[in-house]
Amino acid sequence: MRIAVTGGSGKLGRTVVRVLREAGNEVFNLDQAPPPGGGPGDVIRIDLTNAGEVADALSGVDDRYESLDAVVHLAAIPAPGQRSNTAIFHNNILSGFNVFEGARKAGIKRIVHASSETVLGLPFDVPPPYIPVDEEYPAQPNSTYSLVKHLEEKMAIELCRWDPELSVTGMRFSNVMLPEDYAAFPSFDDDAMKRKWNLWGYIDARDAGQAIRKALDVRTPGYETFIIANADTVMSRSSASLAAEVFPDVPVTKELGEHETMLSIDKARRLLGYEPEFSWRSPSQEV
Ligand SMILES: NC(=O)c1ccc[n+]([C@@H]2O[C@H](COP(=O)([O-])OP(=O)(O)OC[C@H]3O[C@@H](n4cnc5c(N)ncnc54)[C@H](O)[C@@H]3O)[C@@H](O)[C@H]2O)c1
């Protein structure tokens, strides 16, 4: 496939571009900045808040491509607190709308977009309805950043209703990690509250890439959203003991494996064939 990845210069995007290329796709990075250490050939520079530029780029870019089969939309200000709420709202919602609308008008029928675990109710100052959390309860965005992710999911549902051939997949990624981030993980162990805010979850960027690759391959028309996390937590302690200590009143709906994720990936396993291959417990190896 010929695939445009927005935000391909970013933390997650750099790995996603590599994973999709290794799978045999032609991949084009649409970003406002080149990747660190990258040259002009590694990016098609774009301001995604500019609708005209986005519509134009998704319809073809001279010397690069004449048409696209799919768009993977990752570009965003990636967390609350990095800019004002207004700047986050403007940048992220306009980028999301322009990419969805531009893809639609260019006749691109496959879109995967980065949503976020935050819509599950992070930082869980109000406890989750049950553990492990899944995709079955209504979104509970608690920040402007998360609100935009929720609105993008809603927007995509309507776009799929307008066009029955369109496939849009929302990836509710957990906290993105690169292998070099794993050295810090043992420092989480001394206090269960340090990582309670996302139920001690994480996603290895390479496994995020796998999930995106599989979503593009499966390509079921309509909208689906998936929690994408690794199979384990960031902690050495058992998952059951963490849930019991920090969320004593929250029902635990299954018997948790020793380090099993409390961000359920069962739906992604079932519908995408997603299976995490990496873990901080053995960073250089597949598990
Ligand atoms: N990092 C995480 O822990 C995490 C967790 C869940 C979801 N996500 C989502 O995953 C995606 C990627 O996150 P990341 O950590 O790689 O972020 P990042 O900041 O490393 O990369 C984002 C990229 O988007 C580009 N960008 C932002 N606004 C743009 C615009 N208007 N025009 C053109 N380019 C623009 C930036 O230049 C940057 O290269 C985001 O949508 C983020 O919300 C991230």
Residue 154 CA to ligand 1 center (angstroms) comes to 20
Block means of pLDDT (10 residues each) for the chain, length 287 residues?
Answer: 98 98 98 90 96 98 97 98 97 98 97 98 98 98 98 98 97 98 96 98 98 95 98 98 98 98 98 98 65
Residue whose CB lies within 8 A of the most ligand 1 atoms, among 19, 32, 152, for a mutation test: 32
User: Would the CB of 75 count as within 6 Å of ligand 1?
Assistant: yes
| Per-residue pLDDT, 283 | 61
pLDDT tens readout for residues 17-63: 999 999 999 999 999 999 999 877 899 999 999 999 999 999 999 99
Residue 228 CA to ligand 1 center (angstroms) comes to 16
Residue 77 CA to ligand 1 center (angstroms) comes to 5
- Round to whole Å and give the CA distance between 228 and 215: 11
Q: Could you tell me the domains of the chain?
A: 2-126+133-177+204-233+262-272 (3.40.50.720)
User: Would the CB of 7 count as within 6 Å of ligand 1?
Assistant: yes
| Per-residue pLDDT, 282 | 86
Q: Contact at 8 Å (CB) between 263 and 199? A: yes
Phi-psi region of 199 (alpha: psi -120 to 50; beta: other; left: phi over 0): left
Residue whose CB lies within 8 A of the most ligand 1 atoms, among 45, 56, 73, 74, for a mutation test: 74
Place of tokens 């997650």: 12
| Per-residue pLDDT, 287 | 47
User: Would the CB of 26 count as within 6 Å of ligand 1?
Assistant: no
Residue 194 CA to ligand 1 center (angstroms) comes to 24
Counting atoms of ligand 1 from 1, which one is nearest the CA of 115? 7
Q: How far is CA 258 from the centre of its chain?
A: 25
User: Would the CB of 45 count as within 6 Å of ligand 1?
Assistant: no
Q: Helix 144-162 crosses helix 85-105 at what angle (to 10 degrees)?
A: 20
Residue whose CB lies within 8 A of the most ligand 1 atoms, among 12, 53, 145, 169, for a mutation test: 12
pLDDT tens readout for residues 87-117: 999 999 999 999 999 999 999 999 999 999 9
